[in-house]
Amino acid sequence: MTPSPRDETDVRDAIRDALAAETPLAIRGHGSKAGLGRAAAPAQILSLAALSGVTLYEPEELVLTARAGTPLREIVALLDAHRQQLAFEPMDHALLLGGARDDATIGGVVAVNASGPRRIKAGAARDHLLGFRCVTGRGEIVKSGGRVMKNVTGYDLSKLVAGSYGTLAVLTETTFKVLPQAETEQTLLLSGLGEEKGLAALRKASGSPYEVSSLAFDPRENIAALRLEGPEISVVKRRDDLVALLAPLGAAAQTLEAESSRAFWMRLRDGEPVAAGEGVVWRISLAPSDGFTFVESLRRNGAPLLAHVYDWAGGLVWLRLEAAPDAHAGAIRAVVDRLGGHATLIRADEATRATVDVFHPQPAALAALTRRVKDAFDPLHILERGRMRADF
């Protein structure tokens, strides 16, 4: 039977029962991210779907607390009603992994440290997480952080738990810093530059004083896209200044107004440029100046590249390649290791995800530290066993 706890005590009891039986647990909200990570051995599912609801929201204090199983769509709707937002704009994995749209939970967002195109300016989920409650793999309830951002000494557990894919602890409640929505936004599109010059334009804009919040290049349309947000008078002035700054490049410029701009970045956020069609999908993180070099190296080496797109001014590259038993991991990671960065396999069949390192291999010292942290939180390795690494 799948445990379906209704409160934190139930979660603790379910974990203690699993400890006594040494039964691995797979943590699920609505399952929208179940296809991320390694394809691990079957485990009993611990469902957090019933652990739902916003328990605190103070718009004037810019703080929101919700149980881990709360649907993200409910939080977004509540924030929209007050013209506020989760500024890191967590992506929806449905296009890439299948499943229903808008079906993520806030606990899943933290578990994978989700973010979108605005991360280059606003940060990821972990940077907005003020605090949380959880149950460790020891069956212990832990509270970390609070309702305000402040400098403290000691361990910042929010940074540790966010992005751990449920392997350290089962989140039961999360508290986030929320921010006002921008009055408006526009996106400046530059066409005809080609990948190398287009990415150079994005890097030039990112170093300008014009507060560009998102920068992407889509090779399908040969366009560089730059998002500007804020009061309308400021957005228009900064857009015009950017056009003047980048005019020597000789690109044709056009503007997407607010509604079209939001739709453009939502499609990019959710991986639409690489989602359609067969093949494996990779997410590459490296220095923005190395994005084009990385893709060109793959092309020269004959990698069967089907689609790609650049985000974060070239610092994030999404790739779709022809399917292969090894998902082209060797070729991709050889280039990434030379440039410095991380390559994560996002989409592949279960057989591939069971045999290929989904997450970028760590240096020996860091891998040893990772294991010590895992052992401290979950000594019997019952939480998401094999989800991130084959050996635990």
35 belongs to a structural domain: yes
Identify the band that residue 95 occupies on the pLDDT scale cut at 50, 70 and 90: very high
Same domain, 77 and 167: yes
Average pLDDT, the chain: 94
Among 234, 269, 304, give the residue marking a domain's end: 269
Number of domains in the chain: 3
386 belongs to a structural domain: no
Same domain, 26 and 108: yes
Identify the band that residue 1 occupies on the pLDDT scale cut at 50, 70 and 90: low
Same domain, 255 and 282: no
Which letter does DSSP use for residue 378 in this model?
-
Pairing of strands 129-136, 63-67: unpaired
Looking up tokens 């890191």 gives: 88
376 belongs to a structural domain: no
Same domain, 263 and 294: no
Same domain, 121 and 12: yes
pLDDT tens profile 156-186? 788 899 999 999 999 999 999 999 999 999 9
115 belongs to a structural domain: yes
375 belongs to a structural domain: no
pLDDT at 150 > cutoff 70: no
Q: Report how far apart the first and last C-alpha atoms of the chain are (Å, whole number).
A: 24
Predicted local distance difference test score (pLDDT) of residue 148: 57
pTM: 0.94
User: Domain of 77?
Assistant: 8-180
Looking up tokens 């959710």 gives: 270
Cβ neighbours of residue 104 closer than 8 Å, sequence gap 6 or more? 29, 30, 32, 33, 71, 72, 73, 90, 92, 93, 114
CA distance 382 to 392: 9
Residue 207: CATH number of its domain? 3.30.70.3450
Same domain, 276 and 265: no
Residue 16: CATH number of its domain? 3.30.465.10
Same domain, 117 and 28: yes
Residue 348: CATH number of its domain? 3.30.70.100
Predicted local distance difference test score (pLDDT) of residue 151: 45
Among 269, 304, 330, give the residue marking a domain's end: 269
CA distance 281 to 344: 9
Same domain, 161 and 304: no
Same domain, 316 and 333: yes
CA distance 246 to 202: 9
Same domain, 92 and 123: yes
Helix (H, G, I), strand (E, B), or coil: what is residue 8?
helix
330 belongs to a structural domain: yes
What are the structure tokens assigned to 219, written together? 């090779």
| 8 A C-beta contact, residue 321 and residue 303 | yes
Where does residue 40 fall: left (phi above 0), alpha (psi -120 to 50 degrees), or beta otherwise? beta
pLDDT tens profile 327-353? 999 999 999 999 999 999 999 999 999
Same domain, 349 and 289: yes
pLDDT tens profile 350-367? 999 999 999 999 999 999
